[in-house]
Structure 1
Amino acid sequence: MSLKEEHFLNKDDGKSQYTEICSNEIDMKKDQNLNTVEERPIFQCCICGLTEHYDCFSNQVPFNRNIKTKADVYIARDPFSPRTKKQYLILGSACSICDKDICLKPECSLFYSKYFCSSCTRVNITHFPPKIQEKIRKTNRI
């Protein structure tokens, strides 16, 4: 008998040891994939309580390298668009003074070269330029 005929892969007994091992590994991997749900961190605004899963906290969108923001923001993939479109949502940021998480609603935050929460904006309103102070007071945003 030649070596080729003796090899266990060439046996014609219906199922070889190799195929049994491979099929068991594939079944185990399928089970693992079904049981593992991708855990994503949760963003929560400290003012209004908005809660949402996010993908990253960065100034660059990891799944769309062409886009950068001026400050680090919480970014989530847009759940209503196909992944091929690479669309995203900016949920919020961290206050540059107190470091609390804030969403982008006008009642919760102000962006002036950095993000500020409404509490820090009220306390430090005199440190903003007069035009910004006027807009803040006019719109009753904060």
Structure 2
Amino acid sequence: MIGLPDDSDALLSAVLAQEMNTDIEILVRVTDTDATRKALSAGADYVLSVPRVSARMVAQALRGEEVLEPGGQVRLIRVPATPFAGSTIADSGIADTGCRVVAVENAAGETTGVDPGRELSGAEELTLVGTDESVQQFLKRYDVTPAENSRTG
């Protein structure tokens, strides 16, 4: 677990830890949401973004629902949207597995926000977050292979 006050120091620590032991699992806490992708590139297996965790806590307090079950390791995976062509994110059934869509990358490689009413063409790539169990359930149900840069275990 790397939890330093400065995100740059945390990212450097992740790189160094990965170089010292390639088999180590690295969890990095970041204070800037934009540092999440950098932390994954630096070798982190898990990234805990303070703003995102805070947002989940606020959503839980305001809406009275779990945004993400805290009972397991959090996984972030990227999968093709092919099985969901012609359906919206809301109607896709993804949420039934316990996973949540957190980003959509279109065919041009542009990452966009998540609009539950947006119809998917199938050419997109979805970034999902979920617990170990929910990710495994998603992968089994939809028989998809995560992209190479996914953080699954």
Task: Give the shorter-chain TM-score range.
Answer: under 0.3
TM-score (norm 2): 0.22
Of Structure 1 and Structure 2, which has the larger fraction of its residues in strand? 1
Which of the two has higher C-alpha Rg?
1
Report 1 or 2 for greater relative contact order, CA contacts < 8 Å, sequence distance ≥ 6.
Answer: 2
